[in-house]
């Protein structure tokens, strides 16, 4: 079975490394981008199997913008997206994952702080052909 590639888009480099250790330990390949723009480019070029996307990077709605762009590009439209959120994020959208799930083009919201076990479970759950 080919190694699955996970793209992590987050500007918190420490968190990216923590996620990398956790996922690589489970046999995934991890690539990362520290900005939405870079993340979009990598998603198009490297065809990841799943994307972990931080809800808020430089700008409050950067994560949302990236999610919409990923979904509207046919190359990346079907890649599962797990969005990392913190309940305290001031998104300026009055955004509530429980309520607004249906309007946002992501597969799951993961609330920070993310426990390693939960992260692995969620990644496995949403990988297209995971065993």
Exposure string over 66-90, b if 16+ CB within 10 A, otherwise e: bbebbbeeeebeebbbbbbbeeebe
Print the binding letters for residues 23-42 with another protein: x by CB under 8 A, - otherwise.
--x-----------------
Dihedral of the alpha carbons of 107, 70, 12, 120, in degrees to the nearest 10: 30
Cβ pair 85, 110 in contact under 8 A: yes
Question: For residue 42, what are the β-bridge partners?
Answer: none
Candidates 47, 72, 90, 130: give the one binding another protein (CB under 8 A).
Answer: 90
User: What is the total count of residues that contact another protein (CB under 8 A)?
Assistant: 18
Candidates 102, 113, 129, 131: give the one binding another protein (CB under 8 A).
Answer: 113
CA distance 31 to 8: 6
Cβ pair 114, 84 in contact under 8 A: yes
Q: How far is the CB of 90 from another protein (least distance, A)?
A: 6
**Does 18 contact another protein by CB under 8 A?**
yes
Candidates 15, 40, 43, 106: give the one binding another protein (CB under 8 A).
Answer: 15
Give the nearer residue to another protein in terms of CB position, either 46 or 90: 90
Q: Residues interacting with another protein, by CB under 8 A?
A: 12, 14-15, 18-19, 21-22, 25, 86-88, 90, 112-117
């Amino acid at each position: 079975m080919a190694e699955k590639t996970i793209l992590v888009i987050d500007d918190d480099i420490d968190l990216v490394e923590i996620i990398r250790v956790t996922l690589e330990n489970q046999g995934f390949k991890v690539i990362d981008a520290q900005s939405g723009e870079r993340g979009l480019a990598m998603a198009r070029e490297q065809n990841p199997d799943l994307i972990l996307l931080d809800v808020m990077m430089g700008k409050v709605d950067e994560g949302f913008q990236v999610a919409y762009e990923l979904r509207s590009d046919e190359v990346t439209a079907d890649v599962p997206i797990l969005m990392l959120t913190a309940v305290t994020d001031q998104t300026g959208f009055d955004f509530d994952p429980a309520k607004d799930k249906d309007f946002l083009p992501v597969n799951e919201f993961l609330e920070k702080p993310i426990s390693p076990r939960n992260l692995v479970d969620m990644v496995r759950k949403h990988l297209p052909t995971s065993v």
